[in-house]
Amino acid sequence: MAAALAAATPAAAKPIYGCFTRAYDAADLAAAPAQVVEELVVQLTLDEGEFYTGFVAARFAAQGRVAGTAAAAGAWHQQWANCVEGEGGVTCSADCGGGMLTVVPRQDGVDVVTSGFGVLREGLVNGPCAGTETLAEVPGQPVTYRLYTAHNNVCSMMSGEK
């Protein structure tokens, strides 16, 4: 009976936190020519209750709508986010009108779903919101990135946290 109840419990019932990453290889990118993200790192840290701190880092591919732009030059883009757990996962919002993303749990990691979450190009000094680029293939249309669980050290190195 207990096993049946455990099997019926949705994956979102347990807290979602940790480090999730994926580097898309050349074959992945060739199969999805509109995809703009080459590498993505998401870290969720459970603060108090249902509130999370999110950190997102992305390196853009030289294809899709960012081909030939400064975003596709290989620099990392980053964003801190305020997140809260809901029925479908953990939803995070970014400052500067930076949009939202939802982290949905899977057995071996998470799906990151967004129609426009903005990340800032690393090292820019033209103001806190300059150099923002969105993770969406087509801004306003949802895209899903499948990430896998990684050791927290990977995310800590990216975010600068110890």
Is the torsion defined by CA of 73, 102, 114, 94 positive or negative?
negative
Give the tens place of pLDDT for each residue, 26-61: 999 999 999 999 999 999 998 877 688 999 999 999
pLDDT at residue 10 greater than cutoff 60: no
The whole-number pLDDT of residue 35 equals 95
Measured between alpha carbons, how far is 134 from 65 in angstroms, rounded to an integer? Answer: 11
> What does the pLDDT read at residue 127?
54
Is the pLDDT at 4 greater than 60? The verdict is no
CA distance readout (Å), 3 to 23, 72, 91: 36, 48, 30
For residues 129-154, give the mean pLDDT: 89
111-126 pLDDT, tens digit each: 999 998 988 887 654 5
pTM: predicted TM-score of the whole model, two decimal places: 0.85
Which stretch of 8-12, 82-86, 147-151 has the lowest confidence by average pLDDT? 8-12
Tokens coding 89? 């996962």
Query: Pick the residue with more confidence: 15 or 56?
Result: 56
Question: Per residue in 63-78, pLDDT tens?
Answer: 999 998 888 878 889 9
Provide the token pair at 146: 């499948």
What average pLDDT does range 142-153 have in this prediction? 94
Percent of the chain with pLDDT over 90: 51
